Every structure is written in structure tokens, then in C-alpha cells.
């Protein structure tokens, strides 16, 4: 049972780290793409949705990690 909790915490921690890294590099890519295509009407929407989705994923994983750590 203890090994399973450690494994769950490890996977949640790495999920948070990978999600944050994907968010940072994804936002850098979107910033570059937005800079080269400023006239496209849909780029601000894509940028906003990307940032919101990354924040939601990292937020949910962080909440789950803290919930597991309190047990």
C-alpha cells in the first residue's frame, strides 16, 4: 500500500513538472507564431486557450498531489 502511494505521488509530481514545461514551451511557440502572424484574428484565442488549459491541468494535478500528501 505504501509503495502504491509513493508511486502515485511520483507520477503526480512528474505530471506537474511535464505539464508546466509543456506549457512554457507551448506558450513560447505560440508567442513566436503570434509575432509572425499578428494579423490572424484567431491567434489571441489560441493563446488564451493554451494558457488556460495548461493552468487548469497543472492546477488539478497540484491539488491531487496535495490531497495525496495529506493522507
| Model confidence pLDDT, tens digit, residues 12-65 | 888 888 888 887 887 777 777 777 766 677 777 777 887 788 888 888 888 887
Residue 1: band (very low, low, confident or very high) from pLDDT cuts 50, 70, 90: low
pTM of the predicted structure, to 2 decimals: 0.61
Task: Tell me what pLDDT residue 50 has.
Answer: 78
Q: Exposure pattern of 16-55 as b/e (b: 16+ CB <10 Å)?
A: beebbeebeeeeeebeeeeeeeeeeeebeeebeebeeebe
State the pLDDT at residue 12.
81
Amino acid at each position: 500500500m505504501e509503495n502504491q502511494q509513493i508511486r502515485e505521488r511520483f507520477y503526480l509530481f512528474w505530471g506537474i513538472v511535464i505539464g508546466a514545461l509543456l506549457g512554457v514551451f507551448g506558450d513560447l511557440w505560440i508567442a513566436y507564431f503570434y509575432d509572425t502572424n499578428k494579423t490572424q484574428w484567431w491567434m489571441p484565442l489560441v493563446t488564451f486557450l493554451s494558457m488556460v488549459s495548461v493552468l487548469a491541468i497543472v492546477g488539478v494535478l497540484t491539488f491531487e498531489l496535495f490531497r495525496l500528501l495529506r493522507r
